[in-house]
Amino acid sequence: MRLAILFLILVFLIDLLGFYIGSYRIPVYDTILHFSGGLFVAMFFLHYFKNLTPGNPGSPGLKRVFIIVSAVVFVGAMWEITEYISTMAFGNYLYETHRIICCIGNLDDTINDLAMDILGAASFTLITLKTRNKS
């Protein structure tokens, strides 16, 4: 779980750094961050559920995978809402003082962000299922 939290903090810091240096002009930058965010949030919740039920060390079942992916979608939706609120609260100020365009894109961007969150979570859970079933 510590590794997942460490990577989530790293993704957040990379996001902040990109925000200040203007990396959001690079189209794939946001996509990579959302994919990796979904992957590491799924890693966090997998370890959370493993610690919640310590007698079950096996691979995550379909029910657990659904819960993990749903948790990732919830976190992704909350992130999109936070982006919207940030844009409404600070968008004009950041643009006028620093020429930074904050924070949320259009509906296509939001849907792509959520799709990348889901794809990251699904990738992690499928890789986890494959590697645990082999051993």
Domain ranges for the chain: 2-134
Q: Whole-angstrom Cα distance, residue 44 to residue 5? A: 7
The per-residue pLDDT for range 105-134, each reduced to its tens digit, is 788 888 999 999 999 999 998 888 778 766
Q: Mean pLDDT over residues 29-56, rounded?
A: 83
pLDDT exceeds cutoff 70 at 53: no
pLDDT, residue 23, reads 66
Tell me what the mean pLDDT of segment 23-45 comes to. 86
Check if the beta carbon of residue 125 is closer than 8 Å to that of residue 42: yes
Mean pLDDT lowest for which of 10-19, 22-31, 86-95, 120-129?
A: 22-31
CA-nearest of 32, 24, 68 to 48 is 68
- Residue 34's nearest CA partner among 104, 112, 125, 124 is 112
Residue type (1 letter), 98: H
pLDDT, tens only, 87-101: 888 878 877 887 777
